[in-house]
Structure 1
Amino acid sequence: MLRELRMAHLALVDEAVLPLDHGLTMLTGETGAGKSLVAGALSLLAGGKADPKLIREGEDLAWVEGVFDLEQNEAALAACAGLGVRVGSDGVLVLRRELRREGRGRVLINGLVSSQALLEDIGGRLVAIQSQDQQRQLARPAFAREFLDAALGLDSELAAVRAAVAAHQAAAAALAGRQREVDFARRQQEIWSYQHRELVEMRLRDGEVEQLDEDLAVGRNARGLLEAAGRALQDLSDGQPAADALLGSAEKALAPLEQTSARLGAALRLVRDAEEAVGEAAADLRRFVDGLDIDPTRLDEWEERRAQYQSLCRKYQRDVPGLIALREELAQQLERQRSSVDDLRVLEDGLKAAAVEAATAAAALRKSRRDGAPNVARRAAELIRPLALPDLELRFEIEPDLYASGPIELDGSRCRLTGNGADLVRLRVRTNRGEAPGEVGAIASGGERSRIWLGLSVLADRQAERPLLLFDEIDSGLGMDNARPVAALLARLAEGRQVICITHLATVAVKGERHWVVRKAARGRRTVLAVTEVTAEERVQEVARLLGGSVTSAGPPAAQVAYARELLARPATSPATGI
């Protein structure tokens, strides 16, 4: 609910603060006093168009601010959380709109600069302004459908449709995705087959390139390697003198002295270790020289094999492990392509089954709408006729939302399918006896549309989704007597919620739980607006003024004042509507 509405430098308003509460609040004032400015301020908080002309003369900045208490509004809190707007533990949300004469205005949500789009999303959930111009929504199929579903309480049917639609969309997406894969695979099959065959025939082995590089290095330098190994072997073992012979002679010289000197014993051990190492090195060199028999043909084979690896790595831009992985990937792609026909058939069957489920849910929803629509139309007409519409007739037309390429078939026709079903719902009205029913926008006047909307709102009121409602000109064209049922319905609609009504009729104003008056006043050379709450005797005087007749500087005539007291003392229930 809106706890407080504040504004400054807006049109004729210097500064104004309106504390508000649950229930029905009435706003009155003389013609031209600026009552609709409150509607304009709320429109700004709901994301409405900001006109710099609204800025008070002589000021560069105007602003309007709404302090909302969302503690008991779980739907609004969930919406804020979903939009990334943080609301404090106290549930307070402050929306502020600034208008500048030059440059762009600003939007602030809980003190943080935000966007108009976000303000429109959040503010539009918290404030609904029902002026004559906005009653055009009655002609929208979406409005008629939403009202009918709410009046019939079709939440479970709608939930079933939405679940079925989600399943159908998921099945369609899975099939479309697999079909794209299959189409791509078919185009790529020849390429994949060639690449896979090429990699298989190569008989790739991880580590083979490194072995080939080593073998080729040895083969290309065989003569030099033989000469170097031969010289080393000559020095170590086969030459005169050779290292092993010299070490043997040294060992013989030191062996008898091993026990006489620790240092000589240590030297002897080093000589023996060196003799052993030289022997092992000579044996390795001899094996290397004996085994180094390079066949030129084999060397060519190694060269060719290494070139094949190099060519494939360059072609596929991968190393050998990457080529092995690619070979496996291609094998899997080809296997998937071979099984794609079966996969598609399974997915197609799944989509058909999902379409049947969706059609069943949509058909159940359509039946509930068609079965319940006549009773809802009758109840709504009975509720609205006392609102100066004695000949009103309402009718709901429920037709298939035909679409040749629609995903489901209902009653022999292909239809569009959304989370709201497969129907077009239109509201047809007749306001005068003898006329043919037609669209509400073409048949009803602005005031009639407002009263029709009021009656429908009462019938389909949904506590969890209730924003603040502001009615402007709902009593337009009505007299005091035939406005009584309108006032009674407003009072009923305001039970447990917040409703503000701008009115010029006393019989409507007295139904409010609170009453605010907009007055013009002169301040120096300027005119300003003052918005004040009236209670007790002040309210009696304002209601008396609304009754009309001559009003002198001393106030309304005594008879009007007495009648005003009588109206304010009457109980809230209206005999005309039984509300």
Structure 2
Amino acid sequence: MLVHIDIKNFTVVKHVELSVQKGLTAITGETGAGKSIALDALGLCLGQRAEANIVRNGAKRAEVVAHFDISKLEHVKQLLNTEMLSQEDNPDECFIRRVVSAEGRSKAFINGIAVNLSQVKALGSKLIHIHGQNDHHQFLKSENQLSLLDGYAQHQNLLEHTVDSYQQYKKQSQELKALQDAQQQRLDRLSLLQYQVDELDEFAIAQGEFENIEAQFKKLNSVQDLRETAEKSCYALKDDDNGNVIAMLNTVNKELGELLNSDDALQSTYDLLQSASIQLEEAYGELSNYQSSLESDPAQLALIEQRYSDALDIARKHKVAPELLHETHASLAEELSQLNKQEASLQAIEESCEKALSAYRNSATALHQSRATAAQQLSKEIATSIQQMNLPHAVVNTHVEHDESSAPSARGNDKIEILVSVNPGQAPDLMEKVVSGGELARIGLAIQVIRSRDFSIPTMVFDEVDTGISGQTASIVGKLLHSLGAQSQVICVTHLPQVAAQGHHQLFVTKLTDGKSTETKVLQLTKQERVNEIARLLAGDELTDTAIANAKDLLKVS
């Protein structure tokens, strides 16, 4: 509940402090005095847009502080605790402060802690509901009528379940659409990959195989040259009877060996030549064996040549080095496997999407059934309320149409229409077609009272919602607000004496000027001051005995 509001340098207000009590508080005042300023300041404090022109002329900043008693609002305490904004020393109180500089910069605080406007709005929506002068026009819109019905039905669990099932379906359908959009491209790639992998599977090149094939191909392709070269080398080393390298080296070694006794300085040279002779013999032996091993095998050469050529051709297709064919094969096979999994995943997601849609339809149907039931009772309550406001023949029908074929939405698949008739013989129709401005205001007020009661918000503010009514209807409206004030805290800006007289408390707004500046003041009226103010509302500025008597009668005072 709102306990206190402190307003400084807000438009024409220099400084106003208001203590607000339980029950219905009526705010009255002269035309143009600024009766709605306090409510505008409260709206600013609760997160409405701030502009530099709201700062009083000559002031550096405007400031509004609202003090709330939240001792019985456990959901508000929980929100503050979650956001770490509660007061540890006094968790039953909450302060919201808004400061706007002359340059238009704005800051907001909850219990002295700087916060953003979304946090202020989230908290404010649980503390106060403000009904503006023309808010009844909002009920002409189907989406607002749907919100009204949901609030009245109090089926938050069904709403949340529908939202959850819708979000799940939306997620599944987005995944499905992404796969479907890419399906043709994926199928084309799948076809190409299948062909490539099948070809590489058939070729089945092993890791390191190409290097081996290349070496064999070069060897088999050069057998004749290798054999001729080996034969010439063996002939030069040992097989030439007319003179060969090994024979000549042996002769040199024999002659040097005979001279070692004459000069031992030749020993090192002799040893080197002996070693060379041994190595040449070994080289000759290996070369002779190599020559013997060389066989010309045209069939083997043809096989190796074909394998080598095929490897080069396939590598050229894939634009990779032939040495990388094995790795390319593995990479393409993995990509093919992943694409096949995506095809399987597409089928699975199609099935999941169907299940999610079915779950959503069930949730939306349950929500519709609850709405349809609540709509009947809501129609009766609205009709009863507006019949009491001098519209005795009023009929209200709330139609809730469920369209399963429509696209899923977070709010279900219902279309709502509140149809009204206010005259005998008139068929119920859309409000904008069959009611006047004053009749719409009464219907809107009835809806607002019903909605406020069901929303269970501790403080309701009505800003001249009684515009367009008078006389007996005004008395009924006043009694409605009085009854609502018995359950919750209600603040109502009004120009009607019948409504003001129903207030448990009354504030008077006046405008003072010294010719240079203007200042608005808000005064708490005493019992006698209330009589005079109600008389003024009845008769104008001149307080007659009759007006005072009528005021006392309205206030039920002697």
- TM-score, normalised with respect to structure 2: 0.68
Q: Is the 8 A contact 1:50 1:99 kept in 2?
A: no
- Corresponding residue for residue 17 of structure 2: 17
Q: 1:146/1:524 Cα in 2 relative to 1: closer, same or farther (>3 Å)? A: closer
Shift of 1:198: 6.2
The match for 1:33 is 33
Report the residue type matching 1:132 in the other structure. Q
Aligned to 2:85: 87
User: CA contact under 8 A between 1:385 and 1:391: conserved in structure 2?
Assistant: yes
| Aligned match of 1:329 | 334
Looking at structure 2, the residues matched to 25 and 319 of structure 1 have their Cα atoms a distance apart, in angstroms, of 87
CA shift in 2, pair 1:330/1:28, >3 Å:
same
C-alpha displacement of 1:141: 0.7
Contact kept? 1:138, 1:441, Cα under 8 Å:
no
1:454 and 2:458 matched = no
Matches of 2:319 and 2:71 in 1, distance apart? 67
What one-letter code is carried by the residue in structure 2 that aligns with 1:98? Answer: V
Q: Which of 1 and 2 has greater Rg? A: 2
In the alignment, structure 1 residue 530 sits paired with structure 2 residue 521: yes
The answer on whether the counterparts of 2:501 and 2:554 sit within 8 Å (CA) in structure 1 is no
- C-alpha distance in 1, partners of 2:72/2:324? 64
Matched, 1:501 2:495: no
SS in 2 for 1:129: strand
Letter in 1 for 2:411: N
| 3-state SS of 2:523 partner | strand
1:289-315 alpha-carbon deviations (Å, 9 max, x no partner): x99x99999x99999999999989984
Matched position secondary structure for 1:483: helix
Residue equivalent to 1:242: none
502-511 or 560-569: which moved more? 560-569
Matched residues in 2 for 1:193 and 1:439: separation?
63
Task: Please give the alpha-carbon distance, in whole angstroms, between the structure 2 residues aligned to 1:389 and 1:132.
Answer: 21
Whether the 8 Å contact between 2:531 and 2:551 is mirrored in structure 1 is no
Counterpart position of 1:519: 510
SS in 2 for 1:415: coil
Separation in 1, partners of 2:159, 2:167: 12
TM-score (norm 1): 0.66
Matches within 5 A, 1:184-333: 184-197=185-198, 200=201, 315=320, 326-333=331-338
- What is the rounded CA distance, in whole Å, between the counterparts of 2:34 and 2:449 in structure 1? 28
The CA deviation at 1:382 is 1.1
> SS state of the match for residue 474, structure 1?
coil
CA distance in 2 between partners of 1:201 and 1:8 (Å): 87
Greater Cα shift, 515-524 or 154-163: 154-163
Aligned to 1:476: 467
What one-letter code is carried by the residue in structure 1 that aligns with 2:38? Answer: V
2:539 partner SS: coil
Query: Counterparts of 2:374 and 2:124 in 1: how far apart (Å)?
Result: 33
SS at match of 1:494: helix
Q: Secondary structure at the match of 2:520?
A: strand
Q: Quick check: 1:200–1:327 contact (8 Å CA) kept in 2?
A: no
Secondary structure of the 1:190 match is helix
Give the letter aligned to residue 85 of structure 2: V
Residue number in structure 1 paired with 2:416: 425
Q: Using the alignment, how far apart are the partners of 1:152 and 1:504 within structure 2?
A: 33
* Deviation, structure 1 residue 530: 1.0
Q: What amino acid is the match of 1:530?
A: K
Q: Could you tell me whether the CA contact under 8 Å between 1:168 and 1:355 is conserved in 2?
A: yes
CA distance in 2: counterparts of 1:321 and 1:538, whole angstroms = 100
Q: Deviations along 1:20-44, whole A, 9 cap, x unmatched?
A: 3544322112222210212322343
Q: Which amino acid aligns with 1:511?
A: Q
Give the direction of change, closer, same or farther, for the CA distance of 1:455–1:464 in structure 2 (3 Å limit). Answer: closer
Q: 1:502 Cα shift?
A: 0.5
Residue in 2 aligned with 1:574?
none
Q: Which residue of 1 aligns with 2:221?
A: none
Percent identity (aligned): 26
| Cross-structure match for 1:258 | none
Give 1:101-250 correspondences, 5 Å limit. 103-110=103-110, 112=114, 114=116, 123=124, 126-155=127-156, 157-158=158-159, 161-162=162-163, 164-180=165-181, 182-197=183-198, 200=201
Contact between 1:392 and 1:429, CA under 8 Å: does it hold in 2?
yes
Change in 2 beyond 3 A, CA 1:104/1:367: same
Answer whether contact 2:96 2:109 (CA < 8 A) is retained.
yes
One-letter amino acid of the structure 2 residue matched with residue 330 of structure 1: E
**Residues 1:564 and 2:552 aligned together:** yes
8 Å Cα contact 2:24/2:490 also seen in 1: yes
For 2:457 and 2:442, the matched residues in 1 are separated by 18
Partner of 1:397: 399
Q: How many residues align?
A: 499
| Alignment CA distance shift 1:434-1:192 (3 Å) | same
Query: 1:157: how far off?
Result: 4.9
Classify 1:539/1:202 alpha carbon distance in 2 versus 1 (closer, same or farther; 3 Å).
farther
CA 1:8–1:320 in 2, change beyond 3 Å: closer, same or farther? farther
Distance verdict in 2 for CA 1:464–1:195, change over 3 Å: farther
TM-superposition CA deviations, 1:490-538 (whole Å, max 9, x none): 1333355432100123332243343222122345843311112234444
Q: CA deviation at 1:140?
A: 0.9
Amino acid aligned to 1:191: L
Separation (CA, whole Å) in 2 of partners of 1:93 and 1:205: 77
Q: Which amino acid aligns with 1:426?
A: E
Shift of 1:479: 3.6
Any stretches of 5+ residues in structure 1 without a counterpart? Answer: 216-286, 402-407, 409-413, 571-579
The answer to whether the 8 A contact 1:24-1:490 is kept is yes
Contact 1:447 1:473 in 2 (8 A): no
CA RMSD of aligned residues (A): 5.4
* Farther off after superposition, 69-78 or 184-193: 69-78
- 1:42 equivalent in structure 2: 42
Tell me, what secondary structure is at the counterpart of 1:489?
helix
1:378 aligned partner: 380
Q: Distance in 1 between matches of 2:552 and 2:395?
A: 35
State the one-letter code of the partner of 1:560.
Answer: I
Cα 1:415–1:81 change in 2 (3 A) is: farther
Q: Give the Å deviation of 1:205.
A: 6.5
Counterpart CA distance in 1 for 2:326 and 2:66 is: 66
In structure 2, stretches of 5+ residues that fail to align are 217-285
> Aligned to 2:390, what secondary structure does the other structure show?
coil
Letter in 2 for 1:144: Q
Secondary structure at 2:388 match in 1: coil
Q: What is the rounded CA distance, in whole Å, between the counterparts of 1:433 and 1:145 in structure 2?
A: 27
Aligned partners of 1:205 and 1:362: how far apart in 2? Answer: 60
2: CA distance, partners of 1:179 / 1:47: 44
